[in-house]
């Protein structure tokens, strides 16, 4: 038999039921909301943790016109000291010895050439870093996400050991790297100096690059090549743009697990507070117009030459840009290169991904062949090496190598103003390079 219940009683029962439900479920609501949130993936955590390691606390931050953020980090807190062998390292602020040579100062320039001293970095228009700090280009999440992996960020691929180091143009190059270089080998070298023409070559694909650099190489073991590298590059997948940027690189194991670009790993000790590795260079050369260049010197004091020349801290490979010393690579980073180099190389390099089955149209140098000459083709000039007496001298027996001369070529020469020099580069894909 059904029991009659008044409307008021039903409403009271509903209110009581709702109260009980809310009473028991209220503690679960925060938990439910939290669980509903999108969980942070392991990859995102890796990226966040890597950013924390790379981006050191800044004394001052500067927004560059090209979008970069330059952090002024206390010199004692720079990435170099994350390296196990540099935990108790004391910074040496200046080298004990500079090599001397024929082209220590830039000679008078022609109308189409401009002094290297007029070169600046774009972030300089927004400010400078104070004494006691070093400028570091801030790494962003997007920078890391463009890399093949978090672990390999800032490193070359395993397969990209530069084939010119074998000086064998017929060698198979699985990394698609193509070079037009000059080189010397067969002696002990303690550094090099060269003036490098600045350009902004076009790259066809974001994962291709174009660079011009010098290599200091010891390749006593093909599986353990040691290199120190410096120059300029256009590297979209690393920087996120097509700007011409200053860079360094090093490896002690054929690019397998050591070394990196600039300061994205521990190793290079920077002492300069005005030059940012990875920073954009400006201005660059124009075809049939003004020409701009930079001078790079990399050297190591040979400590057994004389007690008076001996470096008390021993074993540093120093780098200088124009008249500014940037810092050094401690010899503890290297195996064979801890003493000297057996090969020096200068020139251009590009990557060719052969998109759509065709050779890339990524340019090397100015994007024009060396036969076009000054103001049109890119150059290296005043090329010197450092001998066992710590002197800069003209290299003996310079050889050249163009792996694919119909795509990128090289022509060398010598005169009283430019010493040993060469023009190099090319457009990549063209009717003779398919």
pLDDT tens sequence across 353-409: 998 899 999 999 999 999 999 999 999 999 999 998 889 999 999 999 999 999 999
Q: Which two structure tokens, joined as six digits, stand for 239? A: 């920087």
Q: Residues 6 or more apart from 154 whose CB is under 8 A from it?
A: 147, 238, 260, 261, 262, 264, 265
Catalytic residue among 113, 208, 218, 229: 229
46, containing H or E segment? helix 42-54
Could you count the other beta carbons within 10 Å of the beta carbon of residue 25? 10
| 354 catalytic residue (yes or no) | no
Judge if pTM exceeds 0.75: yes
Taking Cα atoms as reference points, which of 337, 397, 348 lies closest to residue 183? 397
pLDDT band at 241, cuts 50/70/90? Answer: very high
Write down how long the chain is: 434
Write the pLDDT tens digit of every residue in 342-356.
999 999 999 999 988
Output 18 or 231, whichever has higher pLDDT.
231
* Residue-level pLDDT at 219: 80
Rounded percentage of the chain residues whose pLDDT exceeds 90 = 71
Give pLDDT tens digits for 248-298. Answer: 999 999 899 999 999 999 999 999 999 999 999 999 999 999 999 999 999
Provide the pLDDT for residue 104. Answer: 64
One of 345, 349, 354, 372 is an active-site residue; which one? Answer: 349
Neighbour count for residue 96 (Cβ, 10 Å): 15
Q: Where are the domains of the chain?
A: 42-425
- pLDDT interval class at 34 (50, 70, 90): very low
pLDDT tens, residue by residue, 62-109: 999 999 999 999 999 999 999 999 988 999 999 988 898 877 654 433
User: Contact at 8 Å (CB) between 218 and 369?
Assistant: no
Active site residue 229: yes
Q: Which neighbouring-strand residues pair with 20?
A: none
């Amino acid at each position: 038999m059904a029991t009659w219940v008044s409307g008021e009683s039903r409403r009271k029962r509903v209110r009581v039921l709702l109260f009980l439900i809310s009473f028991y479920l209220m503690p679960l609501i925060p938990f439910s909301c939290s669980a509903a949130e999108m969980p942070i993936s392991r990859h995102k955590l890796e990226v966040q943790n890597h950013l924390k390691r790379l981006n050191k606390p800044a004394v001052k931050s500067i927004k560059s016109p090209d979008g970069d953020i330059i952090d002024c980090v206390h010199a004692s807190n720079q990435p170099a000291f994350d390296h196990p062998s540099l935990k108790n390292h004391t910074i040496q602020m200046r080298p004990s010895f500079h090599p001397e040579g024929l082209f220590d100062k830039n000679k008078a320039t022609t109308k189409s050439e401009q002094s290297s001293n007029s070169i600046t970095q774009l972030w300089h228009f927004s400010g400078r870093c104070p004494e006691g700090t070093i400028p570091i280009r801030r790494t962003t999440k997007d920078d890391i996400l463009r890399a093949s992996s978090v672990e390999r960020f800032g490193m070359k691929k395993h397969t990209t050991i530069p084939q010119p180091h074998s000086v064998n143009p017929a060698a198979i190059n699985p990394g698609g790297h193509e070079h037009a270089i000059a080189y010397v080998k067969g002696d002990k070298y303690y550094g090099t100096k060269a003036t490098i023409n600045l350009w902004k070559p076009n790259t066809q694909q974001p994962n291709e690059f174009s660079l011009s650099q010098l290599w200091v190489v010891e390749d006593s073991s093909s599986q353990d090549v040691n290199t120190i590298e410096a120059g300029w590059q256009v590297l979209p997948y690393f920087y996120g743009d097509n700007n011409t940027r200053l860079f360094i690189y090093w490896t002690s194991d054929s690019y397998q697990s050591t070394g990196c670009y600039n300061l994205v790993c521990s190793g290079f000790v920077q002492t300069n507070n005005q030059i940012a590795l990875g920073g954009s260079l400006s201005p660059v050369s124009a075809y049939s117009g003004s020409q701009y260049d930079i001078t790079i010197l990399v050297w190591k004091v040979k400590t057994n030459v004389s007690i008076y020349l001996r470096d008390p801290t021993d074993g540093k490979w120093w780098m200088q840009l124009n008249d500014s010393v940037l810092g050094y690579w401690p010899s503890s980073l290297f195996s064979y290169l801890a003493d000297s180099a057996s090969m020096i190389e200068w020139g251009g390099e590009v990557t060719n991904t052969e998109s759509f089955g065709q050779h890339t149209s990524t340019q090397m140098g100015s994007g024009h062949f060396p036969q076009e000459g000054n103001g049109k083709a890119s150059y290296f000039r005043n090329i010197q090496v450092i001998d066992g007496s710590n002197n800069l001298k003209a290299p003996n027996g310079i050889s050249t190598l163009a792996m694919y001369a119909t795509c990128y070529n090289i022509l060398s020469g010598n005169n009283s103003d430019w010493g040993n020099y060469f023009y190099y580069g090319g457009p990549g894909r063209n009717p003779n390079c398919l």
